[in-house]
């Protein structure tokens, strides 16, 4: 099976995170051209604790476009708010195969401002 560069980068990032994570929930980000999705995942139990995306009704209605930095900031703030409500503060950031700039960086900074530590 041929594995492309994106898949290799994703696995490399995820393996580093699992080594460093030591039981902390993983803040996993996925970015598409139209939306940005984020989940807080408990890898020990294999469950999603909380999730947010720019495709959700409340966030989508408040934005002109759902695929830009402004949308990422709103999603980051929302996931931070939901995580704090679920009594989770320390997480490990999983950017997947995406570079840490633009929308990914904006989401991470907004989540930090909302109370998450990573």
Contacts of 14 (CB under 8 A, 6+ apart): 94, 96
The pLDDT score that the predictor gives to residue 18 is 79
Grade residue 20 by pLDDT with cuts at 50, 70 and 90.
Answer: confident
- CATH of span 5-113: 3.30.420.100
Per-residue confidence (pLDDT) for residue 6, from 0 to 100: 87
| Residue entry with tokens 């989770």 | 88
d(CA 8, CA 17): 14
The domain locations on the chain are 5-113
- Taking each helix axis from N to C terminus, what angle separates 103-113 and 69-85, rounded to the nearest 10 degrees? 30
| Listed range (11-15, 25-29, 75-79) with the worst mean pLDDT | 11-15
């Amino acid at each position: 099976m041929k594995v492309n560069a994106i898949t290799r980068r994703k696995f490399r990032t995820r393996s580093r995170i699992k080594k460093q994570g030591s039981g902390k929930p993983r803040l996993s980000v996925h970015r598409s051209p139209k939306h940005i999705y984020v989940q807080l995942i408990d890898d020990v139990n294999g469950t999603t604790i909380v999730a947010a995306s720019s495709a959700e009704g409340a966030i989508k209605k408040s934005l002109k476009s759902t695929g830009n930095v402004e949308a990422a900031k709103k999603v980051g703030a929302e996931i931070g708010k939901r995580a704090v409500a679920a009594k989770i503060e320390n997480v490990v950031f999983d950017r997947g195969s995406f570079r840490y700039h633009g929308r990914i960086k904006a989401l991470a900074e907004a989540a930090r401002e909302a109370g998450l530590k990573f």
